[in-house]
């Protein structure tokens, strides 16, 4: 079992990003490794930035239905996108937002997205800033923010999260989640972000019961991992997600 643990301390003040007025905590990543900054990894990209290697993630096609009937929702889906490990210790917000934009034909550098978000060394001010930037770049009301305000997601909130992930990915939109705490993925690897973090969800399987994460702060060699959607909903609890 590998463990990916981050305490998310600011490099200068050793302080966590504060709660924004909206009630979301900015995700602040730990120091990036030299390999992270020097060797960005690209995954399933339609329009990569110059010098970014790419390989494809398979997208699942829906089976044909009756003429005039809505296409059936596929049981699994993966979106093409450009992925990079975050280039600074506080760029999880820009990195996750960049993935979501790239899947929809908008490829920016991490620095460009950080400027749009208002990211500083204390992190990205609020998860609502992610929604704001996505809508500015992709169109009004393309994304909406969903809060899970309680310490534990209710059954209804878990069901809504699963439905939102399936709906968003089938519209070509990765979901960007603001999470905090520790979870174990389906492979048994532990991911701990006690001070908060931003993660893009780039795929789902098992009809939405399992989601695929692209983690820009990975240091254990597994930036992509599958995890129960119920666990992710509870990882988001007290925060929110853009879908």
Residues forming a β-bridge with 204 = 77, 211
Instruction: Please report whether residue 162 resides in a domain.
Output: yes
Is 173:104 a contact under the CB 8 Å cutoff? yes
Q: What is the CATH number of the domain that holds 230?
A: 3.90.70.30
Structural domain including 119 reads: 3-11+24-36+78-242
Comparing 32 with 172, the larger pLDDT belongs to 172
d(CA 145, CA 46): 26
- Token output for 22: 């909206």
What is the distance between the terminal CA atoms of the chain, rounded to a whole angstrom?
Answer: 31
- The secondary structure element, H or E, covering residue 168 is helix 155-170
Residue 139 belongs to some domain of the structure: yes
The reported pLDDT for the residue numbered 105 is 98
| Per-residue confidence band for 89, with pLDDT thresholds at 50, 70 and 90 | very high
Distance CA 137, CA 191 (A): 30
How many whole angstroms separate alpha carbon 97 and alpha carbon 242? Answer: 10
In this prediction, residues 103-126 reach a mean pLDDT of 95
Q: Which residue blocks in 49-154 are alpha helix, DSSP H? A: 92-102, 110-117, 127-138
| Residue pair 44/78 in contact by the 8 Å Cβ criterion | yes
Choice between 137 and 51, residue whose per-residue pLDDT is larger: 137
- What does the DSSP 8-state code read for residue 207? G
Token reading at 18: 């504060």
State the pLDDT at residue 175: 98
Quick check: is 59 in a domain?
Answer: no
Q: pLDDT (tens digit, 9 = 90+) per residue, 48-81?
A: 333 333 333 444 444 455 667 778 999 999 999 9
Question: Has residue 30 been placed in a domain?
Answer: yes
Q: Which helix (H) or strand (E) holds 230?
A: helix 229-236
Confidence at residue 4, expressed as pLDDT on a 0 to 100 scale: 53
Question: Which are the contacts of 212, defined by CB distance < 8 A and separation ≥ 6?
Answer: 78, 201, 202, 203, 204, 205, 224, 225, 226
129 assigned to some structural domain: yes
| Residue 46 maps to a domain | no
Task: Enumerate long-range contacts of 45-50, CB under 8 Å, 24 or more apart.
Answer: 45/80, 45/81, 45/82, 45/83, 45/102, 45/107, 46/80, 46/102, 46/103, 46/105, 47/82, 47/102, 47/105, 47/107, 48/82, 48/102, 48/107, 49/82, 49/107, 49/108, 49/109
The domain total for the chain is: 1
Within-domain flag for 17: no
Total residues belonging to the chain: 243
- Residue 200 belongs to a domain: yes
């Amino acid at each position: 079992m590998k463990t990916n643990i981050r305490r998310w301390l600011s490099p200068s003040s050793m302080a966590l990003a504060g709660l924004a007025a909206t009630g979301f905590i900015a995700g602040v990543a730990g120091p990036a490794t030299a390999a992270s900054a020097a060797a960005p990894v690209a995954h399933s990209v339609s329009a990569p930035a110059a010098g970014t290697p790419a390989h494809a993630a398979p997208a699942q096609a829906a089976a044909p239905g009756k003429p005039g009937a809505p296409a059936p929702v596929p049981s699994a889906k993966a979106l093409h996108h450009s992925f990079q490990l975050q280039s600074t210790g506080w760029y999880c917000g820009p990195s996750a937002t960049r993935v979501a934009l790239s899947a929809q034909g908008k490829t920016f550098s991490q620095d460009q997205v950080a400027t749009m978000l208002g990211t500083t060394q204390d992190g990205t001010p609020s998860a609502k800033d992610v929604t704001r930037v996505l809508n500015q770049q992709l169109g009004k009301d393309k994304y909406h923010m969903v809060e899970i305000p309680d310490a534990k997601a209710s059954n209804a909130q878990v069901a809504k999260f699963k439905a939102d992930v399936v709906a968003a990915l089938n519209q070509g939109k990765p979901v960007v989640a603001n999470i905090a705490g520790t979870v174990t993925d389906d492979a048994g690897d532990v991911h701990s972000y006690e001070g908060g973090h931003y993660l893009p969800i780039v795929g789902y399987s098992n009809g939405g019961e399992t989601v695929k994460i692209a983690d820009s702060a990975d240091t254990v060699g597994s930036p992509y991992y599958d995890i129960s959607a119920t666990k992710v909903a509870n990882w988001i609890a007290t925060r929110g997600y853009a879908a």
